[in-house]
Amino acid sequence: MKKWWALAAVLAAAPAAQAATGYSLGVGGEYTRGDYGTGSDVSLITVPFTLQYAEPRYAWSVSVPYLWVQGPGDVVVSSSGPGRFSPTRSSTATRTDSGLGDVTASGTLRLWEESARRPWAALTAKVKFGTADETRRLGTGENDYALQLELAKEALYGHVGYKVLGDPAGVSYNDVWYGTAGFNFFAGRADGGVEMYAEQAAVDGLDGKRELVLYLGRALDGKTRLTGHVLKGFGDASPDWGVGVALRFAL
């Protein structure tokens, strides 16, 4: 789903180079739907809660989502999206589960500022801890690790990273490359943009992730920002479509 690694981007709705300084709290909601190569519809509601601290030189965040997942009983939520990834589950009857998802922590270090000759650059490390309840298929129970390079130049931004996925018993995930390319614009208190996310297939025999996101945000006041987005997925590993909204409060 858009997924644990992309939640920070949804909440900020802008390159990290333009993130506000100090502490902030974020809360959001996203609904996605697709079959993820399973042949059956899977609906997922994600409500992430995020604490973030940012300075011009560095930033860190901790996020935990509350999840509702409805679909075949052998579908498991992972950091690469829901899918029929667990051979230990045999039930294909539709069921609904809910609860806290995996906790994700990230830290970002700015490498250098933007100049006439080079883009702004930063390095971000992320850990998704396997804290979600496996019996309710809300996570794999394993930790995932990622490292990514982020770049921004005027209205253009993007990142490229590598993710190491933990393997539950009986499952062998592929470690994957992933990346985003986007365009962001500002108009007074509003901003918006478009970005494309791509990720290699975490499971052999499925397509990789391809997702196009359109977002629009507005500062409601000096401390509060509202952002909405729509998502279109391409390939087995992505949802067919999704919509979401997020609020960020500066403390």
- Spans of the chain, pLDDT less than 70: 1-20, 80-92
Give the range of the structural domain holding residue 219, as residue numbers without chain letter: 4-84+92-250
Q: How far apart are CA 85 and CA 105, in angstroms?
A: 24
Write down the pLDDT at residue 10.
40
CATH number of the domain encompassing residue 134: 2.40.128.130
Write down the pLDDT at residue 27.
97
Q: How far apart are CA 110 and CA 120, in angstroms?
A: 8
CA-wise closest residue to 243 among 9, 42, 32: 32
Write down the pLDDT at residue 88.
45
Q: How far apart are CA 197 and CA 211, in angstroms?
A: 5
**Bridge partners (DSSP) listed for residue 141:** none
Write down the pLDDT at residue 193.
95
**pTM (predicted TM-score):** 0.87
Instruction: Give the list of residues 6+ apart from residue 187 with CB closer than 8 angstroms, or none.
Output: none
Please give the tally of structural domains in the chain: 1
Write out pLDDT tens, residues 123-168: 999 999 999 998 888 988 999 999 999 999 999 999 999 999 998 8
